[in-house]
Structure 1
Amino acid sequence: MVLPDPRRSRAVLVGVDDYEHLTPLPGVALGVDRLADLLRDPTVWGLPRDNVTVLRGEVSAGRILKEVRNAGEAATETLLVYFGGHGLRECRSKELYLALADADKDHLTIGTLRYAALRDMVRHEEFPARRRMMFLDCCYSGLATSMGGGSAAVLERYDLANLLVEQGAGEGDPGEGDDTDFGGYVMTSASGTEKSYTPAGSYPLFTGALIEALQKGIPGAGPTLSVHGVWRHVLKQRIGSTPQYKALNTQAEEPWVRNRAVDARPAVPPRRVLPAEPDPAPSPDARSDELKFTTVKGGGYRIGAVKGQMEGVIAKVEDPRLGWQAVSPHFRTVPGRWFWGWDRAEVDAHIEERRAEPTEFVDALRLLLARQGVTVLPDGGPLIGQLPSRYAKKGAVTFTKTDLCLKSSAARMSIPYSELQSVALTTSQRSYASGVPGPEGQWPDNNVAFITHVIHGHRSLEFREDSPTPVRRALRAFLPAMADLRGRHPEWFRMDP
């Protein structure tokens, strides 16, 4: 798997180091500046300089929310938000407040930013980013995971408690009807009952452990690091508190940044022999003379499949007209967790390095759709009704070579790709009762309908579905991807391609 595209990602880093009524934290300013440098470093992630916003000193709550809003509207891949400073808690409601320069610990509504307000901004449903990350380094930051105190090992299992996707749900109440399309992460420096620590003249301990993971890498962790992997590493450091982690709609080891320690790793990982069953790990001599990737246990590509099919995959990615036929995963994976294969991220990166940039709009459209899991018809074909020749179809959405075509139960709409910038998309959900009412007039079932409105000029189409697919998710992924393509190749959209 490849890293999130840094050109389509944004980061907002907030470090409040000087306080009027609270203890100053000079190490916070050092930490936020170093984090910004590392996120911009091509050997870590490579965010463009303008894609990283750093806020320090006497920044206001309104300024923070505006910068997060701006970053959220611009990011189509990943939105990252970091806060370092003092954290205050309201004991009765167990609500977290992020302390700003003029915070008053006796009056929490003065000089603070409610975490709930920041969370709601990050999780805004109209933001196109497919991944949202939050890192909090402050006292009581674990309140952001809605679990209060407790061990991190226990918290990790309650994925639905992630407050990136809840609105006020507490423990045992994971929220009803949540249908977020993005993947979310929250990592905090402490539990909801613990303080965080900042030594004099140094980074805050949690931020320092995070910086160390990015700066030095994690030996033996593979060529890339995930948020979950970084959290596991930070959890082992002695920082005086228990870092917390939450995730939703994500794979546990989805790559985030490059691992700088990859060169210090042995060519073949140490073999762990289990007495209960034999270890089928291949010897180093079993590697191909031409293809050399790290051998991993569980989830890797079948080595034989990579050797036998790599030439064909490379031939496709090097041809702009055929590149859409070769989209990860490229090969079959090994079954179970005890069998060895080649590291998928390394193999995928090897293939992506050779992918040719499409030179024609049709080829770019094929690749864009294939990456979203939409089945593309190589030669097109007729479609019954008034819609143009079919190019690819996903439920009520049809993609042709020139238009985005929609068909609801009541009407149809055809939108040229050159006019997609004027399309508005709104989504909502409604609860409704179904079934046969009981003797006391109660309805036995309570269901949720997903409502999607597509507005183009004076026309509007409404889709009512019992699940957020296919119209809602198809369009919320397709429209930002096409906007990104338009930004890179505006010449393709000056007229109908």
Structure 2
Amino acid sequence: MKLMLTDPGLGGWPPEQVVDLQDPSDAIQPILQIRRLAQEAMGTFLLYYAGHGLISPSGELILTVAGTDPEHADVTGIEYSRVKRALVSCPAEVKIVILDCCYSGRAIEALSVDAVDHATAATGVYTLTAADLTAHVPPLAEQDGVPTSFTGQLLEVLHKGLPAESPWLTLETIYPHLKARLRQAGLPRPNQRSTDSVARFRFVRNNAWTSAGSAVADASAAQPTAPAGRDFDLVEGGGYNITQVDAHRHDVIALVADPHRRSRGRPPYFPVVSGEDRHGYNIAQVDAYIERHRVEPASLADALRMLLADLGIPLVTERRPRRGKTAKIKRTCAIHGDEQLLGFVKVGLLGFTPGVVAFSDTHVVVRTVDRRVRVPYSRLHDVTFSHSSRWEGWGAGLAAGASQVTTLIVGFAGSEVKIEECNQHPLQDTLNQTWPALKDLLKNHPEWFRADTRNE
């Protein structure tokens, strides 16, 4: 799939914009990366998953990873509801999800009437799934280096093209041909769902396009000349996609000009074209034009929200306040009155130490079952961190093994919180990621960090 996407004659995606996660060991890092990439995407966001799908006890689709335990898939796998939340917050105009796994049709059900309250904000999404039930998997002896049956048929359509269609293949033209090929091969029936007009998105070049007028049309389209008054220079063989810039640059400007935005918004802002016969807008000129409109956050709360979003920390927003969980977090973290809870990372059964790292507009709170420290942002430098690790054995005989337990002790104002985690380290990773960024914010904007000891 990656080769097809980055092929200049097909997808034309720049290789640096295609992130390949091969057999991740746990579910935490993939979903954090999906969330981060989704929040940064401006033009098009595509998520392709090929693997094993499971169903949780509550009936939800679980995307498995190498370390997924089938008996505890909802804890050790990626619940599709997490992917759905990433799509809801993604600012990209076009969001494409291709799921090649068993029960992937549940992803479409998740956006249907039963989940309408969660899906109303997921605009511009196209979902293509391999099977409502079990998908077909090639025999074990044939699996090495061979795509799955669904992906193989899809790539066949994309590489060969469709003779009766236009120079570009859209998602809505690809689907019926893919469906027919799968049916003829005796494979499970695929499914699709689209919101808005995203199904008409031009997905790949049509290799079978041989119309008599196509050569003339392509030559005309390749000319670098432009109508008078064009804002940016044209670049041969590269640059931002002209159509995307003309259609969506004002949306990007609105994003970077909003001091209350939930993501920083970084280049590349639009898809980049490639190929000798293609032209695009000068990237440096477009980026400079957009940056002239950037408005930095005017308050600590807005800056913190942006920082947390950039680091993949789940935010609490007025639109999706996560009411039940939020109320409990605020209570256990002593966030009361007009103090606002901005975001948090919570761990239940994943680690040795259940707990939470929460961020309000005035404090960082680290809480475990029996201990808690509340650190005002003005006193970040007064916090101490002590790291250590040990190996703990388990099992016996041939089933014996050992796991590394990492310990982080957070000290502040005479109190300490001890965090122990094994295999996955969401609480420690959160603190290790956010602390340097918070200190940089304190250094750059000391006026925001007034001493605030509310509910300390």
TM-score by length of 2: 0.48
Q: Point out the structure with the larger helix share.
A: 2
